[in-house]
Structure 1
Amino acid sequence: MTDYTKLIDAETWAFIERTNACYPPDTIDYTIVQQREIYDRMCREFFAGYPEGVSAETTAITAPAHDVPIRIYRLAGKAPEAVVLYFHGGGFILGGLDSHDDVCAELCGRTGYEVVSIDYRLAPEHRHPAAFDDAMAAFEWATAKYSQPIVLAGDSAGGNIAAAVSQATRGHKRRPVGQVLVYPGLGGDRARGSYVVHAEAPMLTMRDLEFYKDIRTGGEDRTGEITLSPLADADFANLPPTVVVTAECDPLSSDGEAYGERIVAAGGKAFWHEEPGLVHGYLRARHTVGRARASFTRIVDAVAALGRGEWVW
Structure 2
Amino acid sequence: MSAVAGHGVTDVHAHLLMPGLHAEVERRVPEEVQAAADLELRRNGLASLQASGRMIGERFPRLTSVEARLAAMDAQGVDTQWVSPSPNHFYPWAGEGLATWTTGEANRLVAEHVAQAPDRLVGLGTVPLQHPHLVVDALDDAVLGRGLAGVEISSFAGDVELSDERLEAFWARAAELRAVVFLHPFGCSLDERLDRFYLSNTVGQPTENAVALSHLIFSGVLDRHPGLRLVAAHGGGYLPTAIGRSDRAWKVRPEAHGCAHAPSTYLSKLWFDTVVHDERALRWLVEAAGADRVLLGSDFPFDMGLDDPVGFVRGAGLAAAEVDGILGRNADELMRTRVHA
State the TM-score, normalized to the length of structure 1.
0.41
Greater strand content: 1
State the TM-score, normalized to the length of structure 2.
0.39
Greater gyration radius:
2
Q: Answer 1 or 2: higher relative contact order, Cα 8 Å, separation at least 6.
A: 2
